[in-house]
Chain A
């Protein structure tokens, strides 16, 4: 084969190697992942409303979940948007100190959210094996708790990476994407709260 040929070349050597925001391929994968998980939430919520049509009263023979813990949990998730957004904003600068503080604050709020989640589960005023309503409420909150724990672990791992010299290039984009996923956790938390604490009071 002739090793030397004349070809016009599209030179891409000057292109960047890291992109932030929706130009990043991991951002797209993260979005697709949220679509998968979002569908799961939607289906559990749909099941909840479907099962509502199978009972004459709602909740069927149980007290609604204790409202105070729902409000507390919702408030903590809303507050958590601040460190999540902060970490996302400082990530492109590559300033490791700011990134660490952002991630540390986010992980801290996640710990508080998990503790409150424990109280929420203890105050749902039903056990999962009592009836279909209770099973669905536990499933919805359990699904969200799974996401909360996953996101907490992810944040801690990225926080650990930020203490090494590997926190550069594409890892900075990962910090920003981690915040995107946290937004998803917050949105699903608020919607789950509305279903569990709201609809049990007016349906």
Chain B
């Protein structure tokens, strides 16, 4: 396409028109009708952060119980609920909703250069359904019906025989809620990335963050159904006496483990890949250069997506598998180190060859390098069957996966927060408080979890509520508990920093870090129409490589919420699509679905009767109303043209 001669573009009135068109309702009921990705993205982040804090409180309670031998602060029954709800909260209610949904929903449409996420009502529905699922688990805990069979709820322990009552049912339906939410968002994000990219942003120029979000979304699509199937089987075994996991009539408990980990291991990458997306983004910005090895990194991300599905059995090495399959999954587990290592080397090379600015987000990325490397190395150790057998179900494993998950998700998450909060709130976070937060958290984390490696090697099993003095685990446990104090202090400093910055922080301006991706072309905070002038893209870092007079997109209607749809490979303009506006129906549908799901815990007929309001609300949601759809342009598809 030839570059045009400039034409006069008048924006007088356009901002007002767009603001009117894309306005979201205000007030109490307006809150439930908002379908803009910035609002829903922030809600995902805030809600999941609240559950992170709640999960943290449970962790602190567990550490308090373990602070010395034969401590009597918490009994075994409550302790079981604490570790189960802690793990379930951190994985299902915090890590995925924060790393995948929160960051993804907020950032992806901006990075694509469009005005909203695809299927905004589905996106809003996904948020509400997540909140109900989260509340279900926690209300259960407060009603002494907290799930207590571990975060993966293995049968037969979680089955009808060993866990009567409703504890496992609450857990199983929480899974359904949160997975429906993640799947809905995966559809929105995949469609946005593949079809809403600004003209010029070919696949080869797509920011690495978008690549990672795309791969993560596809992983969600193939992994989440597995845990939905298995948690539904568990629920049916418990409520309508199916026999999937009952060995006396042909069922099999290992079937549960296979299905759970077929989801469970990809889940690790569903959490980790969005984190590496943050790392790749932040490293390039603060090394002040393009990311080194764009193609190897993208290839590694895609390879991780595939390999992530071929290692699930390494969670089951202690179940007496045939040696052949143990060998295969050991090899696969070792192989998955390769793409992650490639990414690591590319980040190192980017820093090495760049002009490093050690600002706050970058500090957290260095924390990630250190912590995740240790977690990765203990992971390589665990991939080997003999060692895995020795430390299976001990605190060594607890230490490993906290190094992987906190190192691989929480450190980049805080880096990402310090990086994007100026965009979200329009104000900078305090640098000094941010550094205090980092060091408190870094020291506290290593104090708590590094000691757990030794506890595990000394034989301390996980999920025991106490231990005797003769085991000599007291000193290390005390040290681990002291670490929690540091981490808690760090988190409190972060919260204080956030509120202080929101009230009195320095104004950020559109691009405080001098970053290259398109979200930094919007004002901070962005208006609901995101971009006054829809951008076109000239290279992988859109803002760094923009021509002085980079063309803009014209001809997208401003009187209706319309977006430009481009094709998948080359992002050539293809058609203009009108997006649905604010609506209360996604919220009402979420309530109806919630009633059906929760009812089904108590009666199988809940699904049948509950389906009636679901159908009614879905019709309310989808029934066309308002103005007639835009008439079709009668002639065959016209080519977009550069005005001369």
Residues of A within 8 A of B (CB): 3-19, 23, 25, 28-29, 32-33, 35-37, 39-40, 43-44, 47, 50-51, 54-55, 60, 94, 128-136, 138-139, 153, 157, 161, 164-166, 168-171
Contact = CB atoms under 8 A, between A and B. Distances in A.
A15 B242 contact: no
A9 B7 contact: yes
Contacts of A3: 10-12
B250 A16 contact: no
A14 B243 contact: no
Interface residues of B, number: 85
Contact of A14 (B8, B228, B628, B633): B633
Contacts of A47: 229, 233, 244, 255, 259
Contacts of B187: 29, 32-33
Interface in B448-487: none
Contact of A13 (B226, B555, B642): B555
B351 to A, nearest CB: 36
Contact of B251 (A40, A44, A54, A171): A54
Contacts of B143: none
Contact of A11 (B222, B246, B554): B554
B255 A19 contact: no
A135 B250 CA distance: 10
A51 B555 CA distance: 58
Contact of A157 (B183, B245, B622): B622
B166 to A, nearest CB: 20
A16 B633 contact: yes
Contact of A8 (B6, B195, B237, B252): B6
A177 B19 CA distance: 32
B637 A15 contact: yes
A6 B11 CA distance: 11
Given A32-B190, A50-B252, A8 B643 contact: yes
Contact of A28 (B1, B8, B195): B195
B225 A40 contact: yes
A43 B575 contact: no
Contacts of A164: 624
A173 B5 CA distance: 37
A153 B118 contact: no
Nearest to B224: A36
A10 B250 contact: no
A37 B180 CA distance: 12
B490 interface: no
B553 A12 contact: yes
B632 A169 contact: yes
Contacts of A33: 187
A165 B624 CA distance: 10
A11 B73 CA distance: 69
Interface of B: 1, 3-12, 118-119, 183, 186-187, 190-191, 194-195, 199, 221-222, 224-226, 228-229, 233, 236-237, 240-247, 249-252, 255, 258-259, 262, 533, 536, 549-556, 562, 564-565, 567, 573-578, 615, 619, 622-625, 628-633, 637-638, 640-643
Given A8-B6, A135-B236, 7 more contacts: A4-B10, A15-B573, A43-B225, A128-B241, A138-B242, A139-B236, A168-B629
B12 A13 contact: no
Contact of B191 (A28, A94, A135): A28
Contacts of B622: 157
Contacts of B191: 25, 28-29, 32
B241 to A, nearest CB: 4
Given A133-B250, A168-B631, A14 B244 contact: no
Nearest to B251: A132
Given A8-B643, A32-B187, A132 B8 contact: no
A9 B250 contact: no
Nearest to A127: B241
Given A10-B554, A51-B252, A15 B243 contact: no
Contacts of B573: 10, 12, 15
A36 B575 contact: no
Nearest to A157: B619
Contacts of A5: 8-9, 11
Contact of A16 (B195, B224, B258, B575): B575
B496 to A, nearest CB: 35
Contacts of A9: 4, 7, 9, 551-555, 642-643
A7 B9 contact: yes
Given A15-B576, A129-B240, A8 B632 contact: no
A161 B186 CA distance: 28
Contacts of B224: 36
B631 A40 contact: no
Contacts of B643: 8-11
Contacts of A94: 632
Q: Most chain-B Cβ atoms within 10 A of its Cβ — which of A14, A55, A161, A166?
A: A14
Contacts of A54: 247, 250-252
Nearest to B229: A43
B259 A43 contact: yes
B379 to A, nearest CB: 26
A135 B229 contact: no
A132 B554 contact: no
Contacts of A16: 575-576, 632-633, 637-638
Contacts of A128: 240-242
B190 A28 contact: yes
A133 B244 CA distance: 8
A10 B199 contact: yes
Given A14-B640, A19-B574, A132-B251, A171 B629 contact: yes
A40 B229 CA distance: 7
B198 to A, nearest CB: 10
Going nearest first, the 8 A-B pairs with the smallest beta carbon separation are: A13-B555, A169-B629, A135-B242, A9-B554, A132-B251, A14-B638, A6-B6, A131-B249
A171 B642 contact: no
